[in-house]
Structure 1
Amino acid sequence: MELLDTVFVTVDEGVQGDLRGRVRPGARGRRQVSVLEAESWACAMAELGLSGSAVLPWHTRRTNFFVEGLRFPRDGGYIVSVGDSLRIRITLECDPCGRMDELWPGLEAALTPDWRGGLLGRVIADGTVAIGDEIRIET
């Protein structure tokens, strides 16, 4: 994982430098970008009994974006706008995998309820994203 202050996100490639965002020919790109709510991560950490300096860093979850102060609907189909031009159509829940338990015992189960593992989406308009950019939910 690489933490960036600014990154370019495109319809064809997803997050610059993340090969998992590339849409393969014939694919729908439903898993192009991943988003994790800070509040959901905090709930998972609390469930594991982790607090203060013992809290795992959010990028342990291996998501592209970490969002604070915004609760996303628990379904797909809506659009999220980030910054001036990036637009992402949320497609589905990001289910945690067994790899999470390799990082911390019980992490997979702690991320399972209420979409705590995050959301997945498809980029529908390119844009550059920077820490602190405004995020909006569109209908």
Structure 2
Amino acid sequence: MAFPFFGDDKSTVARLLATLPQQGRLEWIGLRPARRAELLAVPEAEVLTDQRLAGDHASPKPGGKRQLTIIQHEHLGAVAGYLGLPEPVAPGRLRRNLVVSGLNLLALKGRQIQIGEEVLLDITGECHPCSRMEEELGPGGYNAMRGHGGLTAHIAQGGIIRVGDAVRVVVPPSPSAAP
């Protein structure tokens, strides 16, 4: 018996995976001024093409897959719930650069997103938790973050981003649209 929603055709699933009409919102921006330093929440930041956020200590390689890290806002409460905390975990404790709401970030792997009017990020993979989560969140912090660590990104085009900016999935041009 076939499921009527998916049909028997793999192209149906491919079409569904490619359909992401939602728009998200940039909720938080964090800079790490030095290795192991507390993240500083900022209202806006300059994103440097193929590098990092200006003012962040990280110095990833040009062309690198982990120039920026992103976590889903909705997961802050989930992680807190796994740890028995009464309120969502503060974004800076999770050591990610950006917090985005309104989009299922895992659906964005291998896609490109636009933040604000200028910045383009290539989503390169998952950002798995590290042992620092035990130090930051206490016993069980590492396991609470598993599956909720966010994503890594390559900075395809820089510019200025601000808290409150729209986050959109970039739809590649259709092959039939080529001249």
TM-score by length of 2: 0.69
The RMSD of aligned alpha carbons is: 1.5
Structure 1 residue matching 2:41: 3-state secondary structure: coil
In the alignment, structure 1 residue 127 sits paired with structure 2 residue 162: no
Specify which structure has the bigger relative contact order, considering alpha-carbon pairs within 8 angstroms and separated by 6 or more residues: 1
Alpha-carbon distance, 1:92 to partner:
0.7
Partner of 1:37: 72
In the alignment, structure 1 residue 76 sits paired with structure 2 residue 114: no
The 5-angstrom pairing of residues 1-139 of structure 1 reads 1-20=39-58, 22-24=59-61, 28-52=63-87, 55-74=88-107, 76-104=109-137, 105-113=139-147, 116-139=148-171
Partner of 2:8: none
Cα deviations by residue, 1:22-47 (Å, 9 ceiling, x for unpaired)? 343xx531000000101112111111
Residue type at the aligned position of 1:5: P
Unaligned runs of 5+ in 2: 1-38, 172-179
**Bigger-Rg structure (1/2):** 2
Alpha-carbon distance, 1:74 to partner:
4.3
Alpha-carbon distance, 1:75 to partner:
6.0
Cα deviations by residue, 1:85-137 (Å, 9 ceiling, x for unpaired)? 10000001000001100112211101112xx1010000001110001000011
Distance 1:85 1:44 in 2: 31
Structure 2 residue matching 1:45: 3-state secondary structure: helix
Unaligned runs of 5+ in 1: none
Contact 2:50 2:67 in 1 (8 A): no
Contact 1:13 1:19 in 2 (8 A): no
Runs of 4+ residues over 3 Å off in structure 1: none
Identity of aligned residues (%): 28
Structure 2 residue matching 1:59: 3-state secondary structure: helix
How many residue pairs match? The answer is: 132
